[in-house]
Amino acid sequence: MAGTDEQEATMTTRSAQAETSGGPAGPGDRPTGVHLVGSIPLGDADGVFRGVAGVLGSHVRRIPDGETGKRSRWNSWTAPTYEATEGLELVDPPEGSYTPWKQARLVIDPEDLVLERIGFADAALSSYERFAALKADGTIPRHVRFQVCLPSPVAPMTVLIEPGSALAVEPAHLRQLRAEIDEILEGVPHDQLAIQWDVCQDVGIWEGFYEAYYDDPKEGTVERLRWCAEQIPPDVELGYHFCYGDFGHKHFMNPTDLGVVTEMANAVTQAVDRRIDWIHLPVPIDRDDEAYFAPLGDLELTSGTELYLGLVHHGDGVEGAQRRMSAARSATGDFGVATECGFGRRPAETIEPLLRLHADIAAPVA
Bridging pattern class, strands 336-337 and 306-310? parallel
Contact 249, 282 (CB under 8 A): no
Please write the tens of the pLDDT for every residue from 236-287: 999 999 998 765 566 666 899 999 999 999 999 999 999 999 999 999 999 9
Please write the tens of the pLDDT for every residue from 171-200: 999 999 999 999 999 999 999 999 999 999
Contact 324, 29 (CB under 8 A): no
Looking at the DSSP bridge assignments, the partners of residue 105 are 89
What is the pLDDT at residue 29?
73
Is residue 25 over pLDDT 60?
A: no
Is residue 15 over pLDDT 60?
A: no
Q: Within a domain: residue 99?
A: no
Instruction: Indicate the pLDDT class of residue 100, thresholds 50, 70 and 90.
Output: confident
Q: Within a domain: residue 142?
A: yes
Pairwise CA distance, residues 77 & 82, whole Å: 11
Identify the CA nearest to 124 among candidates 221, 236, 26: 236
What is the pLDDT at residue 246?
67
Instruction: Indicate the pLDDT class of residue 7, thresholds 50, 70 and 90.
Output: very low
What is the pLDDT at residue 345?
73
Task: Write the CB contacts of 110 (distance below 8 Å, at least 6 apart in sequence).
Answer: 168, 169, 171, 172
Q: Within a domain: residue 133?
A: yes
Please write the tens of the pLDDT for every residue from 101-126: 899 999 999 999 999 999 999 999 99
Query: Coil, strand, or helix at residue 221?
Result: helix
Q: Within a domain: residue 83?
A: no
Q: Within a domain: residue 105?
A: no
Contact 47, 132 (CB under 8 A): no
Contact 296, 282 (CB under 8 A): no
pTM of the shown model? 0.90
Residue 89 CA to its chain's centroid (Å): 29
Domain span holding position 278 = 6-75+110-361
Contact 120, 151 (CB under 8 A): no
Pairwise CA distance, residues 63 & 308, whole Å: 15
Mean pLDDT of 62-71: 90
φ, ψ dihedrals at 49, nearest 5°: -60, -45
CA atoms in the 13 A half-sphere facing the CB of 14: 9
Contact 202, 233 (CB under 8 A): no
Identify the CA nearest to 133 among candidates 149, 146, 150, 120: 146
What is the pLDDT at residue 365?
96
What is the pLDDT at residue 69?
83
Contact 45, 66 (CB under 8 A): yes
Pairwise CA distance, residues 131 & 359, whole Å: 21
Q: Within a domain: residue 1?
A: no
What is the pLDDT at residue 22?
40
Pairwise CA distance, residues 76 & 156, whole Å: 8
What CATH number does residue 275 fall under?
3.20.20.210
Q: Within a domain: residue 100?
A: no
Task: Write the CB contacts of 242 (distance below 8 Å, at least 6 apart in sequence).
Answer: 199, 203, 261, 264, 265, 279, 280, 281, 282
Contact 279, 308 (CB under 8 A): yes
> Which spans in the chain are helix H?
6-9, 14-21, 45-56, 79-84, 120-136, 154-159, 166-187, 201-207, 217-230, 259-271, 290-293, 317-329, 351-361
Q: How many domains is the chain partitioned into structurally?
A: 1
Q: Within a domain: residue 96?
A: no
Contact 314, 350 (CB under 8 A): yes
Instruction: Indicate the pLDDT class of residue 28, thresholds 50, 70 and 90.
Output: low
> Which spans in 199-294 are helix H?
201-207, 217-230, 259-271, 290-293
Residue 122 CA to its chain's centroid (Å): 19
Mean pLDDT, the chain, integer: 90
